[in-house]
């Protein structure tokens, strides 16, 4: 198979856009868009503050870890009806010069958050679990199909209860057809591990809607799920990690997880919850 370069879909400039018009916006999204019952196609992303290299690659000298990020959401306005890629339209929310920002616990003058994973609740609200550098998962919600969002705050197992700990790592979520919500995370803080904390072992927590409460989802206690016992596979990269950058899929009553082992093997697993 071969690919041809598609059209460039313009995105609005923001407070963090590079002054040089040659610089493309820089953002990361690791989860597939969702299709809501109202017909909205939307995904979340972490948008990075422009750097001096025009994002032609991560800078040398260790500059990448301190680049600031904020949360934005891409709505694909006509992707279900338009067959010409050149005519696709994308809206970016929240509107305006800034996205959703979460101050860093270790450096409150800087903000950092990334890779929001969206689910739709039974009342039509969107709920996103967010990766941060604050030793915890955060959450935010939208009642208008993603146009506006609540200020992100730490996710708790129950309203007013214990914070769900997580290092600087993804935290995928999925809402099952029976209404349960599955969260995968690492159940430990970043601690003193530097920019990235331990990603092994990995845990699951099963949640249920609490729509009448401030936090509209509450979770049971974490369950141990998988570990590689801190061992790297042959040819593995980075450091020992299991199931980072993963995706859930429910199909015909079964929950599937697609994940990597230390960013080397790509694996699939049926998850019993």
Last residue of a domain, one of 114, 141, 172: 114
**Structural domain contains residue 149:** no
Q: How large a percentage of the chain has pLDDT more than 70? A: 92
Per-residue model confidence (pLDDT) at position 57: 46
Whether residue 140 is contained in a domain is answered as no
Task: Tell whether the model's pLDDT for residue 267 goes beyond 90.
Answer: yes
Residues 4 and 109 in one domain: yes
Instruction: Determine the Cα–Cα distance for residues 183 and 248; give it in Å rounded to an integer.
Output: 10
Task: Answer yes or no: do 104 and 171 share one domain.
Answer: no
Domain extent at residue 216: 155-273
Statement to judge: residues 177 and 79 lie in one domain? no
- Beta bridge partners, 90, equal 76
Whether 22 and 102 share a structural domain: yes
Of the two residues 210 and 191, the one the predictor is more confident about is 210
Who has greater pLDDT, 62 or 262? 262
Q: How many domains does the chain have?
A: 2
Residues in Cβ contact with 188 at an 8 Å cutoff, skipping those fewer than 6 apart: 165, 166, 167, 197, 198
Q: Are residues 105 and 172 in the same domain?
A: no
Contacts made by residues 260-266, CB under 8 angstroms, sequence distance 24+: 261/228, 261/233, 261/236, 262/228, 262/232, 262/233, 262/236, 262/237, 262/238, 263/236, 263/237, 263/238, 264/233, 264/235, 264/236, 264/237, 265/233
**pLDDT score at 265:** 85
Residue 174 domain flag: yes
How far apart, in whole angstroms, are the C-alpha atoms of residue 68 and residue 16? 9
Domain membership of residue 132 (yes or no) is: no
Residue 171 and residue 105 in one domain: no
186 and 253 in a single domain? The answer is yes
Least confident of 5-14, 35-44, 111-120, 180-189: 5-14
Residues counted in the chain: 273
Which residues have C-beta within 8 Å of that of residue 47, sequence separation ≥ 6? Answer: 14, 16, 25, 26, 27, 69, 70, 71, 72, 99
């Amino acid at each position: 198979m071969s690919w041809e370069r598609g059209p460039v879909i313009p995105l609005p400039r923001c407070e963090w856009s590079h002054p040089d018009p040659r610089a493309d916006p820089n953002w990361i999204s690791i989860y597939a868009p969702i299709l809501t019952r109202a017909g909205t196609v939307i995904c979340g992303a972490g948008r990075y503050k422009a750097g001096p290299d025009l994002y032609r690659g991560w800078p040398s000298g260790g500059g990448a870890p301190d680049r600031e990020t904020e949360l934005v959401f891409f709505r694909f306005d006509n992707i279900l009806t338009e067959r010409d890629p050149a005519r696709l339209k994308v809206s970016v929310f929240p509107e305006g010069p800034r996205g959703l920002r979460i101050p860093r616990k270790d450096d409150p003058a800087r903000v950092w958050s990334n890779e929001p994973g969206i689910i739709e609740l039974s009342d039509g609200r969107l709920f996103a679990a967010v990766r941060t550098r604050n030793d915890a998962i955060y959450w935010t919600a939208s009642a208008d199909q993603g146009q506006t969002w609540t200020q992100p705050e730490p996710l708790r197992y129950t309203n007013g209860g214990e914070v769900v700990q997580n290092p600087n790592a993804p935290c995928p979520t999925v809402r099952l057809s029976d209404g349960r919500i599955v969260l995968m995370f690492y159940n430990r803080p970043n601690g003193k591990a530097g920019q990235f904390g331990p990603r092994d072992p990995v845990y699951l927590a099963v949640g249920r809607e609490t729509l009448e409460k401030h936090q509209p989802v509450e979770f049971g206690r974490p369950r141990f799920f998988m570990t590689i016992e801190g061992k790297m596979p042959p040819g593995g990269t980075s450091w020992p990690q299991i199931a980072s950058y993963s995706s859930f899929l429910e199909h015909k009553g079964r929950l599937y997880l697609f994940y990597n082992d230390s960013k080397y093997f790509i694996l699939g697993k049926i998850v019993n919850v």
